[in-house]
């Protein structure tokens, strides 16, 4: 009974947020004109917001570029149901919709502090198509991330990415050590297991 109460208290804020957002059908990476118009009017727009919306509108439906722009678009404005649907089916099944949404909700600030993702390299392998991207941060630094995408009906699904890998591991550590606390041996091990679990889905 205590465990159930603790679980409800931990997830209640996220569930309230998710309930207030439109539910997107998984498998589609499309976004409507009204979606971007609504986002453009939000009071939380970072300086690069209009550039991201413009890049998203200009990207070809079903393209790899659109999948990346959509991810940053949804993450920036907290549309977690739509964001989760951008991930490969196996990732959603194994990690879970709520867990993916929770990780992104905890890291939303990262997406509000970077410019439009710039794709700098593409590589095709047996696992899918790998995209290397650069993100210019508001402090002037450049952040590098990589994404592994696999083609599916209507577009591309994300099978792996370095940002979620780190954030998922940190969430597993924080669940044991508490947020911001010094990593313990158990917390570090949990982070490694979570990262390995996510990475194995791309193989």
Asked if 176 and 168 count as a contact pair (C-beta separation under 8 A), the reply is: no
In CATH, which superfamily holds the domain spanning 17-200?
NTF2-like; domain 1 (3.10.450.100)
pLDDT at position 167 = 97
pTM: 0.78
Tell me what the mean pLDDT of segment 129-141 comes to: 95
pLDDT higher than 50, residue 18:
no
pLDDT at position 50 = 86
Q: What is the pLDDT of residues 144-192, one digit of tens each?
A: 999 999 999 889 999 999 999 999 999 999 999 998 778 999 999 999 9
Q: What is the pLDDT of residues 20-66, one digit of tens each?
A: 333 345 744 333 333 434 443 333 556 577 899 999 999 999 999 99
DSSP result, 100-161:
HHHHHHHTHHHHHTB---EEEEEEEETTEEEEEEEEEBTTS-EEEEEEEEEEETTEEEEEEE
Q: What is the pLDDT of residues 64-99, one digit of tens each?
A: 999 999 999 999 999 999 999 999 999 999 999 999
pLDDT above 90 as % of the chain: 69
Our measurement of the distance from residue 74's CA atom to the centroid of its chain's CA atoms, rounded to an integer in Å, reads 8
Q: How confident is the model at residue 121 (pLDDT cuts 50, 70, 90)?
A: very high
Question: Residue 29, SS3?
Answer: coil
Asked if 151 and 173 count as a contact pair (C-beta separation under 8 A), the reply is: no
pLDDT at position 158 = 98
Asked if 131 and 122 count as a contact pair (C-beta separation under 8 A), the reply is: yes
Tokens of residue 156, six digits: 């591309």
Asked if 163 and 149 count as a contact pair (C-beta separation under 8 A), the reply is: no
Asked if 29 and 83 count as a contact pair (C-beta separation under 8 A), the reply is: no
């Amino acid at each position: 009974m205590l465990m159930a109460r603790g679980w409800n208290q931990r997830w209640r804020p996220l569930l309230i947020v998710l309930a207030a957002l439109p539910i997107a059908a998984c498998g589609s990476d499309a976004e409507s004109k009204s979606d971007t118009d609504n986002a453009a009017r939000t009071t939380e727009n970072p300086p690069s917001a209009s550039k991201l919306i413009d890049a998203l509108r200009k990207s070809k439906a079903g393209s790899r570029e659109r999948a990346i722009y959509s991810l940053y678009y949804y993450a920036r404005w907290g549309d977690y149901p739509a964001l989760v649907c951008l991930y490969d089916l196996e990732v959603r099944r194994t990690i879970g919709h709520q867990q993916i949404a929770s990780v992104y909700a905890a890291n939303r600030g990262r997406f509000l502090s970077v410019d439009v993702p710039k794709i700098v390299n593409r590589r095709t392998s047996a696992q899918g198509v790998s995209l290397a991207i650069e993100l210019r941060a508001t402090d002037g630094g450049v952040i590098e991330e990589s994404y592994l995408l696999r083609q599916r009906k209507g577009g591309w699904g994300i099978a792996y990415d370095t940002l979620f890998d780190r954030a998922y591991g940190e969430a597993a550590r924080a669940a044991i050590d508490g947020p911001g606390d010094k990593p313990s041996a158990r917390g570090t091990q949990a982070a490694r297991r979570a990262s390995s679990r996510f990475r194995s889905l791309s193989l």
